[in-house]
Structure 1
Amino acid sequence: MIRSATRPLLPAVPRPAVLPGVSAGMSPRRFLLLHALWPLLTLAALSALTMGLGGDFWLADRFYALEGGRWALQNAYLTEHLIHRFGRDASTAAWLGAFAFWLYANSRPALAPWRRPLAYLLLATLLAVALASGLKSLTNMDCPWDLTRYGGEVAFFGLFDRRPPGLERGVCFPAGHASGGYAWIALYFFFLQVRPRLRWAGLATGLAVGLLFGFSQQLRGAHFLSHDVWTLAISWFVALALYLAMARREAPRPAPAERAALEGAGR
């Protein structure tokens, strides 16, 4: 019997999946190890240190003492007006600028490679801020300045503690203002798609702005350190999940001939 000439003698080997901006030498498994598992373990350890082992109170006690036994910087021009209000407006302006650039890129064929990464950046930052802000209304935790320990009128209740009926809801966890900075760690994955060499600068930008926003709010008595840790975690994993989701949709499907060869090899 004559073997069909159209059937391959050897099974076709599928091309390895390569994520946008990632070296072909890095497997998806190693990518997830570096970008998902290690960050998860690090952030979980920080959360345990701050919430479970008293790190939140240790740091807040020292800030409170340094300010003279009160939140002296709560209404200071630097922390409230410059970093909090102007910083919030600057982050919003940056998002609107990216949106304007995305609109412009959609009208210029030469900028076509930037359209999808810009859409990713806009969506990742928006989702991170929205998620952090939305969770504040559900977690029911107070700010340091509300607590009797720091001159307020409310006892401390942890994340899973039952609060007495009639007690006003707390809306301080996770940190909302810091999300306007940490959301920009999505620049890491944005540059990974368009200019991989700049990805670390993008990550540093998001971390620096998030740390600035978060640290200033801690000095005001608005948040504990753990509030910022959780906001950082939300921002990072939203950015990572959206990058992977969009990369999966963008992945090229095998050509018809290649698909037929793969199907034939599996029979």
Structure 2
Amino acid sequence: MPQLPTSTAVLPSIEGSRLGLAGRALLIPLLLVAAGSLVLMAGNGDQWIADQLYRWQGSQWAFKDAWWTSHLIHKGGRNLTWFAALLVVLALIRSNMDSRWRPLRRPLAYLLISVALSTGIVALLKSWTHMDCPWDLERYGGLRPFIGLFEHRPVAWGHAACFPAGHAGSGYAWVALFYFMLQVRPQWRWPALGAALLTGMVFGLAQQLRGAHFASHDLWALAISWLVATALYLWMFPLAASLSPSPSHAATGNAGETA
């Protein structure tokens, strides 16, 4: 097992300071989410996008039970994320048994905890917010009127659990791969982040086409996943320690400079 990089030369500039990372990786995304929420939720962007998808399918959710949305992307995607989590668990077990894998133990633990926390928080919020899916609404052939996030919901209308988006969240939870790779292979951090974002987007779009979610449901699933991944990374990997080169590397670097 190759040793993990310890040199400041291979660590990206984003790790310049704890305050800088927190500002860029927490504050900026929060501002973007707030702006997106204003457009989608307060500005009725959710309904506009859903209207286009609904009309495009002939004023019905034609893809609700389609094989490629319901079975391939929804059920198959769910199985894929469980399989990926199982691989992380197996790798973590090996890192506790094989000394060659020991440097991966903490990054793997981080990845597993982050994914579990993200999906768990999304699932918990779904049970608290009581928001309907588009396919349940009168506007899209359902039986219920639209109730906003902070509006009172009559008990007689029953339970609803569509915000944030659980399936898209199971894909977006893997944005933690960005920070995992930051510790293991920094040069792979952006491809890893791109793969996680693409997975979440595919999962989310398929559910929107089925009438299962509005766009803001996906946006908040992504926001929760990113904030959890960032906060956990800041807690588990103190930047001062990660930025300090090991004595052996420092000696090697000095010798190289002298030569």
Normalising by structure 1, we get a TM-score of 0.84
Instruction: Output the CA distance in 1 between the equivalents of 2:15 and 2:144.
Output: 55
Distance 1:189 1:174, change over 3 A: same
More displaced 10-residue stretch of structure 1: 40-49 or 65-74: 40-49
Residue 238 in structure 1 maps to residue 228 in structure 2:
yes
Match for residue 165 of structure 1 among 155, 167, 171: 155
Does residue 149 of the first structure (1) align with residue 139 of the second (2)? Answer: yes
Give 1:175's match in structure 2, choosing from 140, 165, 187. 165
Distance change in 2, residues 1:198/1:24 (3 Å): closer
Give 1:167 shift: 1.3
- Residue 129 of structure 1 is matched in structure 2 by 119
Q: CA separation in 1, counterparts of 2:39 and 2:181? A: 32
- In structure 2, the CA distance between the partners of 1:24 and 1:80, relative to structure 1 (3 Å rule), is closer
Alignment pair present for 1:197 and 2:176: no
Structure 1 match to 2:20: 30
User: What secondary structure is seen at the aligned counterpart in 1 of 2:213?
Assistant: coil
TM-aligned CA deviation for residue 219 of structure 1: 0.2
Q: What TM-score do the two structures reach when normalised by structure 2?
A: 0.86
CA RMSD of aligned residues (A): 2.0
1:195-248 Cα shifts (integer Å, max 9, x gaps): 111110111011000000000000000000000000000000000011011124
Does the CA-based 8 Å contact 1:191-1:198 persist in structure 2?
yes
| Alpha carbons 2:14, 2:20 under 8 Å: kept | no
| Equivalent in the alignment of 2:43 | 53
Q: Please list the CA deviations of residues 35-73 of structure 1 after superposition, one character each: whole Å capped at 9, or x if unmatched.
A: 111111111111111001011000000000000000000
Matched with 2:250 is: none
Distance 1:24 1:88, change over 3 A: closer
Q: 1:108 aligns with which of 98, 104, 119?
A: 98
Partner in structure 1 of residue 198 of structure 2: 208
The correspondence for 2:214, drawn from 208, 221, 224, is 224
More helix by share: 2
Distance, in Å, in 2 between the alignment partners of 1:24 and 1:175 is: 29
* Per-residue Cα deviation, 1:56-114 (whole angstroms, up to 9, x for no partner): 00000000000000000000000000000000001100010111011112111111110
1:165 CA displacement: 3.4
Query: Residue 176 of structure 1 contacts residue 231 of structure 1 at CA under 8 Å; is this kept in 2?
Result: yes
Residue in 1 that maps onto 2:58 = 68
Residues 25/194 of structure 1: CA separation in 2 closer, same or farther (3 Å cut): closer
1:24 Cα deviation from its structure 2 partner: 9.0
Percent identical among aligned pairs is: 48
In structure 1, what is the equivalent of residue 252 of structure 2?
none
2:223 is aligned with what amino acid?
A: A
Number of residue-to-residue matches in the alignment: 235
Structure 1 residue runs of 4 or more that deviate by more than 3 Å after TM superposition: 20-25, 248-252
The structure with more radius of gyration: 1
Distance 1:126 1:32 in 2: 22
Q: Is the 8 A contact 1:21 1:194 kept in 2?
A: no
Q: Quote the offset at 1:28 in angstroms.
A: 2.1
